[in-house]
Amino acid sequence: MFFLCLLLSITWGKIVQKSELKKDSCDSRSPVVLIPGLMASIIEAKINVADDYQPWPKSGKCEKNKDWFRAWVNVDITVPWKSECYINYLSGIWNNQTNKLETIPGIDLRTPKFGSTYACDQLDPVFLIGSFTNSFHKIIEHLKSVGYKDQVDMLELV
């Protein structure tokens, strides 16, 4: 994993140097790329699953059509019948033709503000919950204090 982070950092450094962002970045340091993974980043989902798609929870309470919403971390996960729905929304299925793990057909996943550290800073910005979901907050704040700038030389990739 260390080598992957190092490789991404070096590669991104070359991209940033060639871009117009160079005027905002510091030439004396390499960029920082945070790779938090599923449990430490906000994930949004858009649901448009066919009515006849199987397997689908038999409870009938899981929505099959819904515009972009926060799927992870979401307080609704604590509701027993909704947790089954969120497991389906975030689960993958194996495609034997492409040999890849893919989302259920009709479910799109994304991180908000891709490239920004927004999705891994605080998983839930609600005041009471936010203090418990500071995923990379202290690291990001420290990097900002020494001059790093979000989306310039400090990025998140999920």
The per-residue pLDDT for 41 is 79
Task: For residue 10, list its beta bridge partners.
Answer: none
Cβ partners under 8 Å of residue 108, min gap 6: 45, 46, 48
Q: Which residue has the tokens 């858009």?
A: 46
Does the CA dihedral 104-106-66-114 come out positive or negative? positive
Per-residue confidence (pLDDT) for residue 46, from 0 to 100: 93
Q: Which pLDDT belongs to residue 2?
A: 42
Please choose, from the candidates 151, 77, 83, the residue with its C-alpha nearest in 3D space to the C-alpha of residue 120: 151
Q: What is the pLDDT along the chain (158 residues), one digit of tens a residue?
A: 443 343 344 444 444 444 444 445 456 778 888 888 767 778 888 999 888 877 777 667 788 899 998 887 766 666 666 677 777 788 888 989 999 998 888 999 888 888 888 888 777 666 566 566 677 888 889 999 999 999 898 988 87
Cα–Cα distance measured from residue 105 to residue 127, given in angstroms and rounded to the nearest whole number: 35
The reported pLDDT for the residue numbered 78 is: 63
* 70 Rama sector, left if φ>0, alpha if ψ -120 to 50, beta otherwise: beta
Q: How does DSSP assign 60-73, residue by residue?
A: S-S-SEEEEEEEES
Beta-bridge partner residues of 124? none
Q: What is the pLDDT of residue 22?
A: 47
